[in-house]
A and B are shown apart, each in its own frame.
Chain A
Amino acid sequence: MSEPGFRELRLDGVGRSFGGREALAGLTLTIRKGEFIALLGPSGCGKSTALNCLAGLLPLTRGSIWRDDARLDTVPPERRGFGMVFQNYALFPHLTVRRNVAFGLQMRRVPRAETRRRVDEALRLVHLGEHAGKLPGQLSGGQQQRVAIARAVVLEPSLVLMDEPLSNLDAKLRLEMRTEIRRLHQTLGLTTVYVTHDQEEALSLADRLVVLREGRVEQIGTPEEVHGSPVSRHVADFMGYRNLLPLKAEPPAAGRVTVGGEGITMTGTPVGAIAAGDLVVAAARPEDLSIATEGVPATVEVVEYQGREVAVEARTEAGIALFLRGPTRPAPGDRIHVAVDPARLLVFPRDDP
């Protein structure tokens, strides 16, 4: 019973509420065959809900899911033919690694010899061949995670769902497994939906990002689009724009807008409709602010050494904190001037929800 592949998977206004509270409100998204999609957002944004709806583990309260022309949201999870990797791995503790990986094949009544061959292959793929006879409890966290991945991909599912699979691992292992997951995706070409709250993970793995906030889609785009041109201050906040300054706009001209207030004047690029006198949020990454001969005057408060670069927290006279990152290393108490490239300062309307 091998599931047929699909050309595209369509989520049409998928919504889910829990006791009147909307966890996911109308997610519309088309997933193309072979794509790696990351659902990204802070906790409680509805990304895990979306994944569970896709897997069939949570019934929808609104909308529908389609695999090509077949309606999918009424199909029970065991008949969707998707592979899922759970946050806590959910390995069967009473079965050996081999039998964990073979579980799905046995459910599909794959002949014994073929099961054996495919399990061996999957275990080799995740470098666990020599651990096949062990119980999950005898493995380290990283190894358990690899078993969970092998168990999901051995079925060659038409879609792999991953629910924050790296969040329980330590920093070094997380980086290794990230590369491993990307490599697996490149070798097997499996369509993947990956849930994470880690923007770096999403940027490095995915072909397309879906940024969610409070159950709603904020932005869908390639990593470059979401990283370089966030559409709202919330996405900017989430994508590492650590400087979010509440200022007031002057009349925009020629694709630039000057913003000011609290003793600060800067020029940036407007995102969305901005008129003179609007309250705005000016957003910039720490690495886009630099120490210059002229600009916003500020006093250095904290200096953190971070390898090649130095992170600096400075404060203006009006008490607004500015975060910088760069090669120069000032001393706490130094008076500096902070400048920003107008193309790298994004100005968002402040009243957006």
Chain B
Amino acid sequence: MTALRHRLADRGIDRHLLLLLPAAVFVVVLFIYPFFYGIGLSLQPAEGGPLGAYRRFFTDAYLRDTITTTLGLALPAALLNVLASVPIAYRMRGRYRGKRVLTTLLVLPITLGTVLTAQGLLNFLGPTGWFNRVLQSTGLTDAPVRLTNNYWGVFFSLVITGFPFAFLLVSSYLSGIDPALERAAATLGAGAVQRFRRVTLPLLAPGLATTFCLTFVLAFSVFPSAVLVGDPAGETRVISIAAYEAAYVQYDYVLASAIAVIMGVVELVVLGLVLGWRALLYTGSTAGGKG
């Protein structure tokens, strides 16, 4: 009996494993069960066989096109967030006075929430907002430039709320790269551009892939800003709006579940592509040797 207990403990199986129980229950009840319930529900439409709801989604252009609309917003926004945070995080490496204040300022939009951001965007970029008033008073344009209640309004909102996440992640990936590596590259004759391209970037790339995935997932499920600063019936009719309408306007839970599943599959495809690319990269230690 004791011997068996020792052998199990050797493989990490002992009473401490019970501490995992609350988390496991939580995951099963709140995530796995609703997930499979939704998949099951999506396969039980009133007509058209088990795949009826999916067939309806893909034959109806008004529903089907929400995929490209959402991808058209989420992919560029995620890409911009990652690409913009690299040079900023790169410049902000190391220790200097005022770094904390600067980081706080850059990360602050996380705390605002989408609704406040939308409010701000409407005030600032709207037809009678400060931005357009400045443009018009300086004579740069005659008519206001339309930057809200269309694609751009949602795009800006996604950048404002997504950038802090991307910046924080990229910063922490960068701080994990041994600064001695760039110094070593410098003594070997590499200029600043070469040092970044040949040493830092290859070591950072897997982190950038992960960051892209996370900001993409955040942007893909955009809902409030698509309604508040977008054009929810037209060019920013994203997939979550279609799901919402199916569930709470038409009370068609089967279709809504099917849309939710499609949403998940599209995200998984993008994530799979990015992570597949990431697997081709060097993903080991980013230290230069024994410390």
**Residues of A in contact with B (beta carbons under 8 Å apart):** 1, 55-57, 76-84, 86, 88-94, 103-104, 107-108, 135-137, 141, 144, 148, 151-152, 155, 161, 168
For the complex formed, measure the closest distance between the CB of B35 and the CB atoms of chain A, giving whole angstroms: 37
8 Å CB contact of B282 from A57, A77, A94: A94
Any chain A CB within 8 A of the CB of B262? no
8 Å CB contact of B290 from A77, A88, A107, A108: A88
**B188 adjacent to A103 (CB under 8 Å):** yes
For the complex formed, measure the closest distance between the CB of B96 and the CB atoms of chain A, giving whole angstroms: 12
The 6 closest A-B pairs by CB, nearest first: A89-B289, A104-B188, A90-B288, A94-B282, A107-B189, A90-B184
- Complex A-B: 5 CB contacts under 8 Å: A88-B178, A90-B289, A137-B284, A148-B289, A155-B189
Closest chain A residue to B182, Cβ basis: A90
**Residues of B in contact with A (beta carbons under 8 Å apart):** 178, 180-181, 183-191, 194, 198-199, 202-203, 282, 284-291
Q: How far is the CA of A6 from the CA of B116 in the complex (A)?
A: 65
Q: How far is the CA of A124 from the CA of B189 in the complex (A)?
A: 23
A contact residues around B286 at 8 Å (CB): 93
Q: How far is the CA of A320 from the CA of B180 in the complex (A)?
A: 46
8 Å CB contact of A107 from B188, B202, B285, B291: B188
8 Å CB contact of B186 from A76, A93, A148, A155: A76
Q: How far is the CA of A108 from the CA of B181 in the complex (A)?
A: 18
8 Å CB contact of B184 from A86, A144, A168: A86
B contact residues around A136 at 8 Å (CB): 289
B contact residues around A90 at 8 Å (CB): 178, 180-181, 183-184, 288-289
Given contacts A57-B187, A86-B180, A103 and B289 within 8 Å (CB-CB): no
**A155 adjacent to B180 (CB under 8 Å):** no
A contact residues around B198 at 8 Å (CB): 103
- Which of A56, A83, A89, A155 is packed against the most chain B CB atoms within 10 Å? A89
8 Å CB contact of B183 from A83, A86, A104, A144: A86
Closest chain B residue to A147, Cβ basis: B289
For the complex formed, measure the closest distance between the CB of A169 and the CB atoms of chain B, giving whole angstroms: 9
For the complex formed, measure the closest distance between the CB of A204 and the CB atoms of chain B, giving whole angstroms: 23
Q: How far is the CA of A89 from the CA of B199 in the complex (A)?
A: 15
- Knowing that A78-B187, A93-B282, A168-B289 are A-B contacts, what are 4 other residue pairs whose CB atoms are under 8 Å apart, sorted by A's residue number? A77-B186, A81-B189, A93-B181, A104-B189
B contact residues around A83 at 8 Å (CB): 187-188
**A84 adjacent to B290 (CB under 8 Å):** no
B contact residues around A93 at 8 Å (CB): 181, 203, 282, 284-288
Closest chain B residue to A80, Cβ basis: B187
Q: How far is the CA of A108 from the CA of B185 in the complex (A)?
A: 12
8 Å CB contact of A84 from B178, B187, B202, B291: B187
B contact residues around A168 at 8 Å (CB): 289-290
Closest chain A residue to B187, Cβ basis: A84
For the complex formed, measure the closest distance between the CB of A3 and the CB atoms of chain B, giving whole angstroms: 9
Closest chain A residue to B194, Cβ basis: A107
For the complex formed, measure the closest distance between the CB of A276 and the CB atoms of chain B, giving whole angstroms: 54
- Which of A57, A107, A144, A151 is packed against the most chain B CB atoms within 10 Å? A107
**B188 adjacent to A57 (CB under 8 Å):** no
For the complex formed, measure the closest distance between the CB of B94 and the CB atoms of chain A, giving whole angstroms: 13
**A55 adjacent to B185 (CB under 8 Å):** no
8 Å CB contact of A57 from B186, B285, B287, B291: B186
8 Å CB contact of B189 from A88, A92, A108: A108
Q: How far is the CA of A144 from the CA of B287 in the complex (A)?
A: 12
Closest chain B residue to A148, Cβ basis: B289
**B180 adjacent to A78 (CB under 8 Å):** no
**A94 adjacent to B178 (CB under 8 Å):** no
8 Å CB contact of A88 from B185, B187, B288: B288
**A144 adjacent to B289 (CB under 8 Å):** yes
- Which of A82, A89, A92 is packed against the most chain B CB atoms within 10 Å? A92
B contact residues around A78 at 8 Å (CB): 186-191
For the complex formed, measure the closest distance between the CB of A45 and the CB atoms of chain B, giving whole angstroms: 21
8 Å CB contact of B188 from A94, A141, A155: A155
**A82 adjacent to B187 (CB under 8 Å):** yes
For the complex formed, measure the closest distance between the CB of B238 and the CB atoms of chain A, giving whole angstroms: 38
For the complex formed, measure the closest distance between the CB of A208 and the CB atoms of chain B, giving whole angstroms: 23
A contact residues around B282 at 8 Å (CB): 93-94, 135
8 Å CB contact of B284 from A86, A135, A141: A135
Q: How far is the CA of A161 from the CA of B189 in the complex (A)?
A: 14
For the complex formed, measure the closest distance between the CB of A247 and the CB atoms of chain B, giving whole angstroms: 44
For the complex formed, measure the closest distance between the CB of B98 and the CB atoms of chain A, giving whole angstroms: 15
A contact residues around B183 at 8 Å (CB): 55, 57, 77, 84, 86, 90
